[in-house]
Chain A
């Protein structure tokens, strides 16, 4: 059965800190790994990664995939209170369109 595990489950940091969120996976026929940010309702797309070792970057957020070790990390630098959200990792495989992890709840306090 396809599985995606995120850690930590929750995290509290101060504004300006740098955080690293982890996502490991076990799926058959891996196609891509995606990161989403979920604030109040709908998950919003952040990154899609398909190739190992290539960093995707958007402002203060960046992500990288290691297909050999089957994990990905999401980094957020200089965190702001607006970064507070649940960050979801999902993997697209040959079996299931998107298998989601349970998410990491990030709280950024001023």
Chain B
């Protein structure tokens, strides 16, 4: 157990809908990262927050947004969902701004039907 908690574990929703994925980092970790893993693309970096502020942005779609709250948990919001958004979404956390030795949660498997 990495200490990073993601909920829900599975999510099935229809196209056009909006969902929220939640992540609780390891105790003491200030950085949270979101990654998307699909079969053909591998792990793709979406966005990083450090102590409540956005630090780095990857290939995150405009339909996706995230935030990190004062208690350091983070939420990833996905809206106007498309079939192609079906993937595993991972959250990772680390103590520092750099991602070295980031620890990953178990992921949320999103299926858009």
Contact = CB atoms under 8 A, between A and B. Distances in A.
B98 A44 contact: no
Please name the 7 residue pairs, one residue from A and one from B, whose CB atoms are nearest each other, closest first: A97-B99, A100-B43, A102-B42, A42-B104, A98-B99, A41-B106, A42-B106
Contact of A41 (B41, B98, B103, B107): B107
A103 B98 contact: no
B42 A45 contact: no
Nearest to B57: A96
B94 to A, nearest CB: 8
Contacts of A32: 98, 100
Interface residues of A, number: 22
Interface in A1-46: 31-32, 34, 36, 41-45
30 contacts: A31-B98, A31-B100, A32-B98, A34-B100, A34-B101, A36-B104, A41-B106, A41-B107, A42-B2, A42-B4, A42-B104, A42-B105, A43-B90, A44-B2, A44-B104, A45-B102, A48-B100, A48-B101, A88-B42, A88-B43, A92-B100, A96-B45, A96-B56, A96-B58, A97-B31, A98-B35, A98-B99, A98-B102, A100-B44, A103-B42
Contact of B48 (A88, A97, A99): A97
On chain B, which size bracket covers the interface? Answer: 20 to 34
Contacts of A34: 100-101
A32 B2 CA distance: 21
A99 B99 CA distance: 10
Interface string B89-113: 0101000001111111111000000
Contacts of A42: 2, 4, 90, 104-107
Interface string A55-96: 000000000000000000000000000000000101010011
A71 to B, nearest CB: 18
A43 B104 CA distance: 6
B45 A45 contact: no
A32 B35 CA distance: 19
Contacts of B48: 97
